[in-house]
Amino acid sequence: MDSIVSKLVADVAIPKMFKVRQLFPRERVDVRDIPDTIRGLMSREELVSQIRPGMKIAVTAGSRGIANVALITRTIVDFVRERGAKPFIVAAMGSHGGATKEGQLAVLSGLGITEETMGCPIKADMDVVKIGVNEEGMDVMIGRNAWEADGIIVSCRIKPHTCFRGPYESGIMKMMTIGLGKQAGAEVCHEAGFKYMAKYVPMFGRAILQQANILFAVAVLENAFDETAKIIALNHDEIEREEPKYLEEAKALLPKIHVPECDVLVCDTIGKNFSGSGMDANITGTFVTPYASGGLKSKRVAVLDLSDESHHNGTGIGMASATTRRFFEKMDFEQTYPNVITSTVIENVRIPMVMKNDREAIQVCLRTCTDNDKKNPRIVRIANSMEIEHIYLSESYYEEAKRNPNLVIETEPAEMGFDGEGNLLDIGCIK
């Protein structure tokens, strides 16, 4: 027997959907060229001269699903070893992985970064060392393993953040401040909230550059297709000056959904492998702080599933209006809450309505939309916030899509396919 909740949404019609391909510029580094590109950058005399035989050198590895991250990390490790130094990888992901050594090792393993694949030790201990104070007298901390190394190479991605705006967002300065800071360091930087993050990230970053043995950074920018668009290497004394211009480049490369607004956004899957916030609000418009904006404007958001790569960390579900029982059962509070407690953004894990299946999660969002055309609702469906070359639009967008030079219609409108349990047949797969 259907529940009263199921009965309340049973008659809500889900419109026909059609698939489009979104067009974006495609600047990229061929995967086959990545090792040589990195080796060329690191061979600059002012960089390679810092790597000397016998040195213990820490190479950072974070929690993000960066394109080609295992290949990039392995190339840096090999380059260091070939110069007679002793590389090791240090987990640099703040409080992710449940803020435990075991959790952070599991995150790295999910990214293809293990001692076997990298050919070097991986250290993920959560111990930190206070190395000094910043300009305002706040404690500056980094992981003990990184601090005790003879040098640190920061490997990361530069991109816009989902919770604040500033000259330094997600990138090198943040990787040093939050990533290398482990849970304790991340907490100090976050404790004033995201209102002040644009101030504190560079403030802590400058202190770390002054007080820790940061050799240089190797950073990537990505295009709209989750591909490596550009690789850069910045020496210790170049990081603070040069990083902001690469953030602007990263913003220009950021993909978007080529319709400005919708009634309901359906995001098949969220997870830490897609974004630190579960889904990238720069794309979806689902910001949980008032200090960043942009992306798609939607009245309701349905989040249907949690990625395996997120290791049960359900950060981002607070952006949703409704989710599924499947998602809720996958979410582990012990894996999720340390991250948001540290960041102070507990709004990102508020539990939305939990519906029986995918169909009802979409239906309840449609049912509760107001000030819209009930007979022709506007739905945007994405697989996740990282892979948006192919998306689905509801039938009401069809004529608009035909006129949009950035959209190519790939299928005619058709009913969504659900299985006998009411779940999408192609969940997480729009290609």
Distance CA 410, CA 431 (A): 10
pTM, 2 dp: 0.86
Distance CA 281, CA 73 (A): 27
Angle at 60 between CA 174 and CA 256, to 5 degrees: 50
Q: Which domains does the chain have, with CATH numbers?
A: 4-24+256-409 (no CATH), 31-253 (3.40.50.11440)
Contact 409, 20 (CB under 8 A): yes
DSSP state of 418: B
Distance CA 119, CA 83 (A): 15
Dihedral sign for Cα atoms in the order 280, 156, 107, 27: positive
Q: pLDDT at position 148, please?
A: 96
Nearest one of 141, 127, 64 to 99, comparing CA atoms: 127
Distance CA 82, CA 401 (A): 53
- The string over 289-309, giving b where at least 16 C-beta atoms fall within 10 Å of a residue's C-beta and e elsewhere, is bebbebbbebbbbbbbbbbeb
Q: pLDDT at position 187, please?
A: 85
Q: pLDDT at position 96, please?
A: 78
DSSP state of 417: P
DSSP state of 308: G
Return the structure tokens found at 133.
């104070």
Return the structure tokens found at 193.
């909230």
Would strands 407-409 and 379-382 be described as parallel, antiparallel, or unpaired?
Answer: unpaired
Q: pLDDT at position 1, please?
A: 54
How many residues belong to the chain? 431
Dihedral sign for Cα atoms in the order 141, 146, 148, 151: negative
Q: pLDDT at position 192, please?
A: 77
Written as one letter, the residue type at 364 is V
Contact 212, 131 (CB under 8 A): yes
Q: pLDDT at position 379, please?
A: 98
Contact 321, 353 (CB under 8 A): yes
Distance CA 169, CA 158 (A): 8
End-to-end CA distance of the chain: 36
Residues of the chain short of pLDDT 50, as ranges, are: none
Would strands 128-133 and 139-143 be described as parallel, antiparallel, or unpaired?
Answer: antiparallel
Would strands 407-409 and 56-61 be described as parallel, antiparallel, or unpaired?
Answer: unpaired
Nearest one of 281, 253, 252, 249 to 265, comparing CA atoms: 281
Nearest one of 427, 189, 193 to 305, comparing CA atoms: 427
Q: By three-state DSSP, how is residue 134 classified?
A: coil
Q: Which residues, other chains included, contact 279 with Cβ-Cβ below 8 Å and sequence gap of 6+?
A: 267, 270, 286, 303, 316, 319, 384, 385
- The string over 232-243, giving b where at least 16 C-beta atoms fall within 10 Å of a residue's C-beta and e elsewhere, is bbbebeebbeeb
Angle at 41 between CA 124 and CA 143, to 5 degrees: 20
